[in-house]
């Protein structure tokens, strides 16, 4: 089993490494120093596959620590401090059990999960489907148990649990999930239904699970799920027997070939999914008749008084205004809905003055505003509806710095509007909660939100011009594009971990904005003509 999994990981790493070499060879300055013979050198790819396995193991542990810490332990401790529960352990169990025993069993099953790696291994590399499934399921649940064991043994004592209780809970969750995997196979065998692909049902289960997990503890109705030692051990043994029976059935399941065939047929990157994803991405940013403004002297908007690339840019945003505004309106609706819900909860809970400070939410703003940015959506719309045919012409690529600056103004205005809505929602929540927010703190909060909105505008547009990740099918295949996005996401998570004070966070975001904007403008001016091209 281990040799099969190492082979699967080596295939994934080699495919990624070849793509990385391909894009690195096209970078200015660096590309000429990357030899083409690097494709054929297996030694570094073999070392990279081992490194990938080690990193995957470390990430599995970190992932469970983040899940248990942020989603279970911290909310339980907050509920005790807010007066919703005297003991955090019942709240933690009431949160963990619906999420791990109900919701995750539906959306996070692996046995029928459509994956490109499964297609490559079974269809292209001719690895038997039974061998593939047994190797991946064995590795998955051994790592799953060990990572959950570490996370629960480390974090459960913070809410009054024991390390032994954490070990029993990790074993119970693992064996229950194995039983759920077999349940997915049985459902497919009897009905032909791949449950994980029923998006409506999956999202409904996620919402129900979240309501069951957090609703009762917030209302002070969380059941006390703690059991004495003997009943807890008996229940864990019963679940372990159920899981062991599922493992026995999974090891002797005779129809893995049909299950793998169903999954790979659904996610075939060369047939169904490739075509489906390409069409979905194009439909997402394609122009419909209702998206176009009527031509005429009174409908040209800001385009009527401009010329050159300013005219082209203004004409695009005027003629495609519904296509451009739709993602912005969706994000404004999300911010307004979240703000209204937060104000309603604060009005009902009526926290004590000084017990809640809106400035404490500042560390969540970088990640939240990164998700709310319309930058990537607008860049894809620009590529598909404007730039894709024009990138073939040298004069258009040479003018990249000009239309970069014009588009940056438009994109920044849209993200600033979303940021202002988020800052207004926080201000309203502070007013409803009766929190005393000094004027200096309020100004810093608004400055932080607006500087982050500008930063993410520069980020998305700069990556579009400097790395141009999109192909004619709107696939972002450039690994460097994903690396830079991951680096920025990691920075947002780092803010959550370090939890800097509001003045330091506002000053840091303003400084990063200034440096990033200056670097982006300089690099686009120097390299834009070479990097802003069709793939």
Mean pLDDT for 296-315 is: 66
- More confident position, 454 or 479: 454
pLDDT band at residue 303 under the 50/70/90 scheme: low
Distance from the Cα of residue 240 to its chain's centroid: 33
Mean pLDDT for 17-41 is: 77
Token pair belonging to 171: 């074993």
| DSSP code string of 183-197 | HHHHHHHHH---GGG
User: What are the tens digits of pLDDT across the range 366-414?
Assistant: 989 999 999 988 988 888 888 888 888 889 989 999 999 999 999 999 9
Mean pLDDT for 446-460 is: 95
The pLDDT of residue 280 is above 60: no
CA distance 300 to 427: 37
The pLDDT of residue 130 is above 50: yes
pLDDT band at residue 467 under the 50/70/90 scheme: confident
Asked if residues 446 and 508 have their Cβ atoms less than 8 Å apart, the reply is: no
Residue 432: per-residue pLDDT: 80
Q: Which of 529, 369, 514, 531 is nearest to 464 (CA)?
A: 531
CA distance 396 to 389: 10
Q: Which of 210, 220, 66, 65 is nearest to 146 (CA)?
A: 65
Residue 204: per-residue pLDDT: 86
Residue 96: per-residue pLDDT: 92
Q: Cα separations (Å) of 400 from 284, 318, 374, 391, 465?
A: 25, 20, 21, 10, 8
User: What are the tens digits of pLDDT across the range 60-93?
Assistant: 999 999 999 999 999 999 888 877 777 888 889 9
CA distance 346 to 333: 20
The pLDDT of residue 28 is above 90: no
CA distance 71 to 104: 13
User: What are the tens digits of pLDDT across the range 165-193?
Assistant: 889 899 999 999 999 999 999 998 888 88
Residue 287: per-residue pLDDT: 53
Q: What is the mean pLDDT of the chain?
A: 82
CA distance 268 to 292: 35
Token pair belonging to 277: 């994803």
| Full-model pTM | 0.59
CA distance 117 to 259: 15
DSSP state of 393: S
Q: Which residues contact 165 (CB under 8 A, 6 or more apart)?
A: 156, 232
| DSSP code string of 55-113 | HHHHHHHHHHHHHHIIIIIHHHHHHHHTTS-S-HHHHHHHHHHIIIIIIHHHHS--TT-
DSSP state of 476: B
Beta bridge partners of 470: 476
Query: Among 144-153, 154-163, 349-358, 497-506, where is mean pLDDT lowest?
Result: 349-358
The pLDDT of residue 144 is above 90: yes
Asked if residues 250 and 181 have their Cβ atoms less than 8 Å apart, the reply is: yes
Residue 25: per-residue pLDDT: 78
Token pair belonging to 182: 């077999």
CB count in 10 Å sphere of residue 159: 19
- What is the SS3 assignment for 195-222? HHHCHHHHHHHHHHHHHHHHHHHHCCCC
Asked if residues 143 and 60 have their Cβ atoms less than 8 Å apart, the reply is: yes
Best mean pLDDT range from 113-122, 208-217, 456-465:
456-465
Mean pLDDT for 124-147 is: 86
Q: Which residues contact 58 (CB under 8 A, 6 or more apart)?
A: none
User: What are the tens digits of pLDDT across the range 193-246?
Assistant: 888 878 778 888 888 888 888 888 877 777 777 777 677 778 888 999 999 999
Residue 464: per-residue pLDDT: 92
Asked if residues 290 and 384 have their Cβ atoms less than 8 Å apart, the reply is: no
Asked if residues 195 and 110 have their Cβ atoms less than 8 Å apart, the reply is: no
Cα radius of gyration (the chain) = 26
Residue 174: per-residue pLDDT: 95
Q: What percent of the chain has pLDDT over 90?
A: 30
pLDDT band at residue 23 under the 50/70/90 scheme: confident
On the CB side of 58, how many CA atoms lie within 13 Å of its CA?
Answer: 6
Residue 151: per-residue pLDDT: 95
């Amino acid at each position: 089993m281990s040799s099969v999994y190492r082979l699967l990981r080596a295939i994934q790493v080699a495919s990624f490494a070849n793509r990385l070499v391909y894009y690195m060879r096209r970078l200015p300055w660096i590309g000429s120093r990357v030899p083409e013979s690097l494709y054929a050198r297996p030694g570094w790819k073999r070392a990279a596959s081992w490194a990938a396995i080690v990193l995957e193991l470390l990430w599995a542990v970190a992932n469970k620590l983040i899940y248990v810490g942020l989603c279970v332990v911290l909310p339980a401790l907050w509920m005790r401090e807010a007066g919703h529960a005297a003991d955090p352990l019942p709240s933690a169990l009431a949160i963990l059990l619906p999420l791990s025993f109900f919701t995750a069993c539906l959306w996070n099953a692996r046995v029928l999960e459509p994956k490109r790696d499964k297609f490559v291994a079974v269809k292209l590399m001719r690895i038997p489907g039974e061998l593939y499934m047994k190797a991946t399921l064995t590795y998955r649940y051994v790592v799953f148990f060990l990572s959950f064991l570490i996370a629960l043994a480390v974090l459960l004592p913070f809410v009054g649990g024991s390390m032994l209780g954490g070990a029993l809970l990790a074993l119970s969750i693992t064996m229950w999930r194995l039983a759920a995997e077999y349940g997915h196979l049985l459902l497919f065998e009897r009905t032909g239904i791949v449950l994980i692909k029923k998006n409506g049902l999956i999202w409904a289960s996620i919402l129900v699970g979240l309501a069951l997990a957090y609703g009762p503890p917030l209302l002070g109705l969380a059941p006390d799920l703690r059991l004495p030692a003997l009943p807890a051990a008996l229940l864990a043994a019963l679940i372990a027997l159920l899981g062991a029976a599922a493992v026995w059935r999974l090891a002797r399941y005779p129809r893995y070939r049909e299950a793998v065939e169903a999954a790979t047929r659904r996610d075939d990157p060369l047939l169904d999914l490739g075509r489906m994803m390409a069409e979905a991405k194009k439909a997402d940013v394609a122009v419909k008749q209702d998206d176009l403004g009527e031509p005429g002297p009174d409908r040209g908007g800001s385009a009527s008084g401009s010329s050159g690339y300013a005219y082209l840019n203004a004409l695009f945003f005027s003629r495609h205004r519904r296509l451009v505004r739709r993602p912005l309106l969706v994000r404004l609706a999300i911010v307004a809905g979240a703000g209204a819900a937060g104000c309603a909860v604060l009005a009902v809970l009526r926290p004590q003055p000084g017990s809640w400070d809106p400035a404490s939410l500042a560390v969540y703003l970088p990640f939240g505003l990164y998700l709310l940015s319309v930058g990537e959506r607008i860049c894809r719309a620009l590529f598909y509806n404007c730039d894709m045919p024009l990138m073939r012409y040298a004069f258009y690529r040479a003018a990249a710095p000009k239309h970069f600056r014009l588009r940056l103004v438009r994109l920044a205005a849209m993200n600033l509007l979303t940021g202002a809505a988020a800052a207004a929602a926080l201000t309203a929540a502070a007013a409803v909660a009766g929190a005393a927010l000094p004027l200096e703190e309020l100004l810093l909060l608004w400055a932080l939100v607006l500087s982050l909105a500008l930063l993410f505008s520069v980020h998305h547009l700069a990556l579009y011009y400097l790395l141009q990740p999109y192909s004619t099918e709107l696939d972002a295949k450039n690994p460097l594009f994903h690396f830079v996005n991951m680096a920025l996401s990691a920075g947002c998570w780092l803010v959550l971990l370090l939890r800097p004070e509001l003045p330091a966070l506002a000053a840091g975001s303003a400084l990063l904005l200034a440096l990033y904007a200056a670097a982006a403008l300089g690099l686009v001016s120097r390299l834009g003509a070479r990097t802003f091209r069709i793939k």
